[in-house]
Structure formats: structure tokens, C-alpha cells
Amino acid sequence: MIFRNSIKSIFRSKGKTALFTLVIFSLTLALTLAGSVWASVTQFLDDCDDYYTTVALVEFMGTKYPDDDIYDPAMVDGLKSFDISSIKNNDAVLSWETPSRTFGYVKEFWRTDNFMPDKMLSVLVIGNVSFNEEHQLFSATVYKTLYSSKIKENKYIHMDADFGPFEQGHYYLIFGEVYHGYSPILHLRPAAFENAIAEADGAEIPDKIDITSDTPDNKFYNIPEDSILIQIADTLSVTNNSVLVESTDNLMALLPFHQEELYFVEGRPFSEEEYTLGSHVAVISELMAARLGIHIGDTITLSLAISDRPGFYNTYWAGDGFTVEETFTVVGITNTLMDKSWYVYIPRAANIPASRYPIGYTAGQAVLSNDEAVKFWAQMAPQIPGRFQLKIYDQGYSSVTIPYQTILSTAIIVTAICSLLELSVILLFGFIFVFRQRDASETMLMIGAGKTRVVVYFLISAGLIALIASIAGATAGYWLHDNILTMVARTAENSTLIDNRYSNGNLTISRTLAFAPQLEMGFFFTLGAIIFLLIIITCLVFTLFTFTKRKITKRKQPKVKKKVSTSKLPGGLMKYTTLSVIRGGAKSLIVPLLAATVVLFFGHLSRTAQQYKIQLEDVYDNTQIHGYYTDINGKQVGNLVVNAYDVATLYYTGELNDLDVSRGTPYYFTGITEFADGTKQNISPIYVPSNGYQLESLIAKIQRGPDLTAANDINSSPEFYYSDDISISFLKGYDQTVLSVPENDANVFSCIIPTDLMEEHQISLGDIIRLSLEHMIRNPIDNEKIFAYYDLRVVGSYEKQGTENTIYAPLSLFFNTGLIWGEGQPAVDGKSNVINKPDFLSAKQKDSLLSNVFHSANFQLKDSHNLIKFKDFLTEYGYSQVREAGKVREFIILRDASFNNAVASIKQQNHYINILYPFLYALVGIISVTMAYLLITSRKFEFATMRGLGVPRTRTFFSFFSEQFFLCLAGTFVGATIWHLFWGVPSLAHLVLSIGFLICYFVGSAISIVIMNHADVLKILLDRE
Amino acid sequence: MNILELNDVSYTYDSKDQPIEAVKHVDCSFKQGKVYAIVGKSGSGKSTLLSLLAGLDLPTSGQILFEGRPTSTMDLAKYRRECAPMIYQSFRLLPLLTVSENITFPMELRKFRGKKARNRARKLVERVALPESVLDRFPNMLSGGEQQRVGIARALSMDSKLLLADEPTGNLDEENSHNIIDILVSLSHDDGYCIVVATHDLSILPKMDVIYHMNSGVLKLENSW
């Protein structure tokens, strides 16, 4: 009976039953979908965290950067003033590793790469030496190669005349450096051999030793076993075939592995156990394995040289220097990268001693918590001193996850709102379906049905509705979630906030992890079950309330209120309104409180949105984006070949406000032609020898020299690009602008030279020096061929950063600067800030530009707002990005990573606001209309009474509407005043939103009053409670 | 003279299943100076009839004449405001107005305002045997009987000689019920009001001048003194 009546009760209130079934179904559906997005995106972000590894690399930008096996004393100096502990101890750092490298040797491994330290040095036995008068050089036959990577036995070679004299028919042990001349025959020239051990022993190194045999044993020569040249040969055969042993705690986090330049072709990386135990296991290259003829499981014996002298070349000498010899089992073989083919990786805990001097330019690297990398970079980058650079390689983690993080935040809020709405509806459902039927409960108790039956009566009807709605919602959620998640993935793809093209934040490889969540049916039905249970519990609680809050048997006692004097207000339209407002008590506070809260809430929302806009504008206004031409790996800033036409075209875009280029050529210091005091010195130019082989030798000599670099800004030249402490002294009347001001018409160009060169050649500021270059011209005096030379006035001196004595001259020395910076060019005249095609160039100008190259070029963007447009231009022009060649094989990097991260962070918030705020605005609108309706309808008896007393509809309308209008306006005013006091003048958006709220509330009130005005007064008035 | 006259008055409620004829062809008249009672079971149509008399709605057919004029030709709100005051079982006082303001409310609708209106309210309070002190109280500070007297005073403030009462004693105890009925009878007999009371309280019937019985929408004269 109870069951039947309970079921009947829900069919007898069809409207309410249908409404609540629909609402609970809809909210359950919304909740399961929002929850599924939350769960899926959380799972995906966790997967991303496992899949991606973010590495921070601290490197020293030395003059030889990016050489990986070099020892640079400048880095050691730099490290002394660099407190790296702040990086190590940052919360984002999961592990920190300082490079642990040492040089070693594996017997029988030989190298052919271009990274061999003394690849061209050779120790040979020669004979059959003859002197070629015409070419002024010696020719000889190689009888034995004691060490050479180039010269084979029984070959014919040329030797510089400096090696002489030789005796006819004698045999020699000779040491020199091989070079390639214009002829196919290899040349040998005298060379120095630097080895600290040999030097310490006081060894003198001759360039040849006569080893002709004087014994009657039919030998033509005897090689003295104790000869120093034999020792050099022995040393070279080890140092030139050396291996670099790198100990690590996390092989896969080392940059070549992290960037997937190195990968396993056989075997595996080290296991956790091997890392922990320090097992003697190694990973080598495929090339090394092949040359050693070994496979996985075979062993190699590493001989390691550790000493107090920097560099392997100073550590080993003729069998002396190896301090450690250990055997390692090969567990992994990688692909062959030419510059890493001679690396051997071992676990750090194997306790192989590291070199006491840094090898390469890496100061350390950290594995970071993926999601804290951006914060880490923002904290640490400003603390990195001098020429050190911090780079983050995240394998594409941030660009993949940022859109999903935004979606996650939104999903969490939507889920929370859906949950709150669901809870509210459940409470309302319990209230209406149970508590408001407490008469029925009371009656049932009065007729002795018992509490259990009452509970069953209510729970069956409510439970049936809840069951149907929640199961239907969960089922629909399960069916629809795939579509929603597909939409999420599409949204994420379309809302990538960072344009990583050409960015220094895009030096990393981009790994791809697909968003493919797998949510089980159980997830949806668990949510449905939770909702069902919540409804049952709520209804049960309300049922229990009906036992205590009885309606029939309990009457309210009239409240004794303080006496209030009757109003003296004149009767009229506003009297009832005024009295209602004044005497409404807490009810009169609801609307103003709501209005004030909404105004403050909207103020907060619009302020937040506005702040993001201001922040974004600040970032744009205060960011200067620099860019530079580089190599395919994005490491070099110099030693490039960049076409001047391409650089000019870039400048013609009008998007650059600074363009610094340089072009260098080797010079040979010829002498001082005029001293600062005006004293002249007769320095002859270098005449071109008529002998071809002498010419080759001379050209080779000039080519080995340092560079004369024409640049328009010394600070931006490759030597100083990463330096912020350049020290230059100028001759009075000169400054750095000397390089950028065209000196096309000058007889003597200015130059800035290193202080070391000044000391070496006794040069003073104001002196004019002559530098000879490798190309040849006719001497205007005697019409003889000479090497071209420049006479340059020394107007400045600088402390060099590297080892080279680079001389800086104005750019106009080598390049007609008018082609780029001359009048009439749109970028110069400020006529355009759009992407231009250089149509204005004459054919001659274009040819001139096309035939010129720069060896470095870097620039600064005029306006960061135009970054995307500028990148579009680069893409359209065909410029190449690091690791991604375009049709123009010139690579450009824009140093916009931090800018992008800042912008992305703000845009992420903005994006999130753009998704969430309309939802909140709509919610506030709905709440305001609902509140207006509830407040008006709660006064239906007042309406009915007034209507019963004959008050016209227009009067009731204006009476109630003016009350709501006044209350809402008062609340808005209070909210606006509070806002003004604490946060200043409201923004336009704030005003618009507040007016929108007022309109919603007024419309809601008006509609509600009209509804009440047309309600059945008869029914209300005759309601006998 | 008949203040109210009903000629073949019927009223039908619209219902989803079928129309319900709550009042069927009622013919009757009400005179000043008499107290009329309409009795009947719940759902017999007596309250519907009373609300038709009060101008809360118009008859579906037939006509109601107030002082000879059909209510159908009148502005119903004005009719309620000036001609047909009504008191209700649940008093229907405006909760935010004091007793004085509740009583002056209908007067103010007729532009009778200020001190004059308040003085009149004071007199009306006295007329319904309430102390003057209640004037400044809110309805919820009064007992049921007091609230109903305020309701009568408010009805009297309309200066009509007709007074309709729907179950005026329904929410009152016996003593208060009789007091209220005595006031109504006094108003009728002493001041010439025509009082129409819909009730199922048989204990008050002996004080009524005319008793109508309503059954299934049909009105029959039961007794007349």
C-alpha cells in the first residue's frame, strides 16, 4: 500500500516530477561530463609528466662555444664568481648534475673525426729529398709513417723550405703539420707541439732528425727508439684517438639523449641498480663498437689520465699519464654522431675520477619538475652571471600542456559549479518532495502508520525519480564523453598560446603525446550512484525533519515586537514602498546585499581581466626581443655565412630598430706605418711570390691569422655577444660609434685592437697599422702584385675575451652600409612598418647585396606587438629554424622564450577568463532574475490583499517595482562606493556589467510583478492555510 | 432597498477534465440593516459566491447589481475599493503596515489621507472594540481576534454600507467568534450595514437575520427572521 501510494504521489504531481527528473538528469549529465574532462585531463597531464623530461642547462658562452671537448680558462674564472647552489637548491630542481668528464683511451680504437685534437700533425720517415728551385720547396718520399692521419707510406710529399737544409741521399725523421695546397700533393710545414709534461722535462722538439744508417747492415736508416719525435708519435697516436669518458647519474637526461640526437641501436641505458651500485658498465657509439669489434656484453678497458694540468694534451706524454685503468662491460650501443662517436658513458657511481678542469662549456644541468620549469626559468635566469646562459629543454612539454592546464582549470570550476547546482537542486528536491509534504507525514503518523512507513513512503517516490534521473544522466554522460573529449583535444590544439617559431624556447625537440583518455563506464556510474545516494540521504534527512517540525499540531506564537509608531507619511504611490523598505527588516537587506555583492564581484572580475590586459601590455611595452642568425643547431652566433641581401630584406621590413652585422677576414700584421706622433715608418706591402708553392704557403699563413672584423657594433660581435663586461679604451674624440659611422670616404679607417696585440707589437693609440689580407691586388706604385692591405688608425683598445687578436674596424670597411642604412630605404626613413618587398633596389644594388656576406648578424625588434607578424614574414621568406630547415638555409633564433612564457601565462589566464567569465555573468544574471522572482512571489498574499482591497494593477506594479528598484539601486550604490573607496574608479567593463545586472534584476522584478498581478487573486485570498 | 441583487448568477471554473459549475443560477437580494449568513459544506460554492459579490471576479452568466448597477459594467478594482469591502478567515492584513496604516490604506486609495484618515482609523478601532493602543502595532503583534477586528475596521474604512465576510470566525476561538459576530450584528442593526457572512459555524446562526443554504452551487433560503 505504502509503495503503491508513494508511486501514485509522483504521478499525481506530474509537472514537478518531470521537472525534477529533467533537472537532475541534466545536472548529472553535466557533472559527469565535466568530471570526465577533469579526470581525463588530469590523467593526461600526469602522463605528460612521466613522458616528458625537462632539463635546464647552464652553459658558458666562451669564444669557442659550442666546442664540447675544449678547456676554456675563462669558464673556470667565470665559475669562481658563480654561486651555482641557488640553482641546485631551487624547489623545481629534481636532480642536479655537474659534468664529470675525463679523457681516456681505449686500445685499438682509432678516430677519423674532425674533432681530433692534432689531426694534421705527423711524424714521418722521409728520404729521397730534393729541392725544387722553381717552387722553393722540398719534395720527399715517405718511407715510414710513425704517426699521421693523412699521409700514407710510399707517398710523395712537399715540404716547406723552412725544414731545410737536407743532405742528398739521407733519411730523416720529420715532424710537421700536413696541409692541403692547391695541388693534390700533401704539404708538410713545421709545427709546434705543445705538451706540458714534455715542456716540464725540458724537452726540445726538433722538426727533423737525420736517421741515415751508417752501419753496414743494409739498412738505409735507423730510427732511434729514444728519439723525442718517436715519443711525439706515440703521444699523438693516443691523444688523437682519445675517448671522452662521461660519468652520469641520469644518462637519458644528458642533452644528446634528451634531445634524441643519440638513441640506442642496441642494448639499453643504465639500470637503477647500476646507477646505485656504480657498476662498471658503459654505453658507446656504434662506430666505436664496430672499430673495436665488440658487441653488447663485451668489455672495454678504459685508460684514464688525470693530472693537475688542463687538457688531455698536457696530461699524457709518451706512455706516461694514465693513472686509472678499468674494465667496463658494454650494455648499450648508440647511433653514431660524429661529434660524439668517441664518447664513453658510464655511471657516476663507478667512481672514475673526473678531470680537475672543465671539459666543454656545460657548467651543469638539472632535471626539473616539468610544470615548474617556467617558474624556475623566471627565478633563475636573472641570477645567471656574465657569459653563462640558462637554457630550458622541455621536449615540447609546455606547448602541449598549457592548453590542457587551462581546460583543467575550467573543468574544475565547471565541475564545482555543477556540483553546487546539483546539491542545491537535491536540497530543493528534498524540500519540495518531502518537507513540504510534512502534512502527509504528520497525518500518516497520526493514523498510526509508523515512522518506518513514512520514511519508505517518501524514499520510494523520491528514490524512483532520483534513480531514473541519475542513471539516465550517467548513461548519457558515458555515451557523450567521447565526443566531449574529442572536442577538448580539438580545443587544446587550437588554443596553443605560444608561437614557438624561431624561438630560443624551441631549441628542444618536440615529442608528441596524444590525448587519448580511457575512462571506464564505472566512473560515470559511480558518479551517478553518488548523486542517487545524496538524494536518498537528503530525502531521509528531510523526512526525519518532518517528524520534528510538525505543521498541524504546532502553531506559531505571535512575536512580541517593539512598538513602532505609525508613519506620518502622506498616502500615495510611494508610501507603501517606503514603509515596506523600512520595515522589511532582513528581507529589505537581501536585495541591497545581493546588488552590492554582485557589484563587488563584477568589479573583481573586470579588474582581474583588466589587470591581465595591463600586465600583457606591460610585457609588450617593456620587452625588447633580440634575434640572431645561427647554425642549424642554434649554437653559433659567428662563423656563419649570411647573405647580405637576406639581412637587408629583413631590415627593410621596418620591424627592426637595430641591426648589427659583422664580417671578418684573416689578417697578417705587417707593421706600424705611422706613429701617433706623426712619425712615419716605411712598411712595404707583402708582394705575391711568383712561386706557386710559396704563394700557397703564404696564403695558408695569412689564413691561420686572426680576423680583421668589420662590424657596426663591437658589443654585438660574436666575441662579445654574450658578454656584458666589455672593456674598451678610446683615443680622445672617439667612442664606439666609430664602427657604425660610415667612413666610405676616409683615407685611413679607424680600428679597435686588443691590448695583447698592442703589447706584442708596441702599438699605441693613434698609431696607424698595416694589415695584409689574403686576396691580391696590383700595387699602384710599381704595378706588382701584392697582398691587399689596409692602413688603420688605432682609436681604441679592448680586453679580448678569447685567444684571438681580432681587430675591429667600421663595417663600411668591407660593406657599403648605404645599401642597408642609406637614405631612401623605407626602414630608415620610417615610412613603413609593414613587411616590404625590396622593390626599390636597383639591379646594381641588389647584385651588390647578393654578392656580399656577413659572418654574423643580430638584431632587435622594434615592437614586440609585431612579433607574430615578423615571424610570419620569416616563415614566408623561407628562413630556417633550428633543426628545421626552410628554403633559405639561414637559421634565425629570436630570443623570445621568456617573453613568450610571460605572454602565454597571462594569455592562459585571459583565455581561462574568456571561457569562465561569460559563464559567471550568465550565472549572476540567472541568479538575479531568480532572486527577483522568489522575492516577489514570496509576497503573493500582500499582492492579493492589495488587489482584494481594490488597488489597481498599475499601482501594485509601481509599488512593488519601485521598492525593488530602490533596494537594488541602493545596493549597487553601496557596492560602487565600497569599490571606489578601496579600488578606485570603476572601469567601463565594471559599469557595463553592473548595469547588465541591474537590467536583469529589474526585468526579473517586472516580469515577476506582472505574473503576480495576473495571479488568481480569488484563489490566494480564499486560501485558508 | 436592495444593496445587492443577484439575477440568475452562475459561475464555472475552468478545469482540465471538465468545467466545474460552482454557482448555479442564483437569484437573491441583500438589504441594508440585515445580517445574512450563507452556510453550506466545504466546496458547496459559498466562498465563490461571496468572492463574486466582492468583485474578485465576474459571474460566468447572470448579473450582480450593486445599488441597481450591474458589476459587469463597473471597474472591478474600483468596485472592490469603494463598494464591496471584505473580511477574510485569515485576516489578510498587510504585515508591514501598522494597524493604523492598514485601516487608512483603503482611505488613502480614495485620497482620504493624513490626520483626518488617522482620526477616522482611531474611531473605527473604537468601533470594533479595540483599544487605541493597537493602532501603532503590527498585525503579527495582535491575537487572531484582534486581527479580525482590525480587518473589520479596515472594511469599515471604505465607507460602503456593504460588508462581506468569508468565514470570519474560522480561525478564532468560540469567545472571539461571538465577539466578532456581535460586532457585525451591531454594525448591521445599529449602523445599517448589509453584512453577508459565508460560514459553516452553526453556533453563530441564531444571530443571523437571514440564512441561506448553499449546496452544490445552488442557493436556497433556509430561514428568515
Residue of chain B nearest A1020, judged by CA positions: B92
Interface test with A, best of B60, B75, B94, B124 (most A CBs within 10 A): B94
Helices (H) and strands (E) in chain B, counts: 6, 10
Interface test with A, best of B48, B101, B134 (most A CBs within 10 A): B101
Residues of chain B with Cβ-Cβ distance to A958 below 8 Å are: none
Q: In the prediction, which pLDDT does A549 show?
A: 63
A953 — contact with chain B (CB < 8 Å)?
Answer: yes
| B107 contacts A1018? CB cut-off 8 A | no
Whether residue B124 contacts residue B103, with contact meaning beta carbons closer than 8 Å, is answered with yes
Q: In the prediction, which pLDDT does A746 show?
A: 66
Residues in chain A with pLDDT < 70?
1-2, 182, 216-218, 495-497, 549-565, 569-573, 743-746, 823-839, 1018, 1022-1025
Residue among A272, A256, A273, A264 at smallest CA distance from A296: A264
* Strand A707-711 versus strand A807-810 pairing type: parallel
Query: How far apart are the CA of A565 and the nearest CA of chain B, in angstroms?
Result: 5
Q: pTM of this prediction?
A: 0.69
A1021 — contact with chain B (CB < 8 Å)?
Answer: yes
Interface test with A, best of B14, B87, B92, B118 (most A CBs within 10 A): B92
| A1023 contacts B141? CB cut-off 8 A | no
- Interface A–B counts its CB contacts (< 8 A) at 107
Residue among A615, A597, A606 at smallest CA distance from A917: A606
Query: How far apart are the CA of A1024 and the nearest CA of chain B, in angstroms?
Result: 6
Closest to A563 (Cβ–Cβ): which among B47, B137, B140?
A: B137
| B96 contacts A1022? CB cut-off 8 A | no
| B86 contacts A950? CB cut-off 8 A | no
| A558 contacts B138? CB cut-off 8 A | no
| A952 contacts B114? CB cut-off 8 A | no
Q: Tell the burial category of A286 from Cβ atoms under 10 Å away from its Cβ (0-12, 13-18, 19+).
A: middle
Residues of chain B with Cβ-Cβ distance to A1019 below 8 Å are: none
The neighbour count for residue A35, using CB atoms within 10 Å, is 23
Set of cell numbers at residue A1005: 522584478
| CA–CA dist A173, A211 (Å, integer) | 6
A941 — contact with chain B (CB < 8 Å)?
Answer: yes
For residue A715, give every residue at least 6 positions away whose Cβ sits within 8 Å of its Cβ, in sequence order, or none.
A660, A726, A736
Closest to A561 (Cβ–Cβ): which among B48, B51, B138?
A: B138
Q: In the prediction, which pLDDT does A563 show?
A: 53
A1018 — contact with chain B (CB < 8 Å)?
Answer: yes
Backbone angles phi, psi at A68, to 5 degrees: -100, -10
Q: In the prediction, which pLDDT does A425 show?
A: 85
Residue of chain B nearest A559, judged by CA positions: B141
The neighbour count for residue B12, using CB atoms within 10 Å, is 17
Query: How far apart are the CA of B107 and the nearest CA of chain A, in angstroms?
Result: 9
A935 — contact with chain B (CB < 8 Å)?
Answer: no
The neighbour count for residue A903, using CB atoms within 10 Å, is 22
DSSP state of A566: P
Residue of chain A nearest B106, judged by CA positions: A949
| A566 contacts B101? CB cut-off 8 A | yes
Query: How far apart are the CA of A952 and the nearest CA of chain B, in angstroms?
Result: 6
Query: How far apart are the CA of B51 and the nearest CA of chain A, in angstroms?
Result: 7
A952 — contact with chain B (CB < 8 Å)?
Answer: yes
Backbone angles phi, psi at A852, to 5 degrees: -105, 150
Whether residue B152 contacts residue B144, with contact meaning beta carbons closer than 8 Å, is answered with no
Residue of chain A nearest B154, judged by CA positions: A949
Residues in chain B with pLDDT < 50?
none
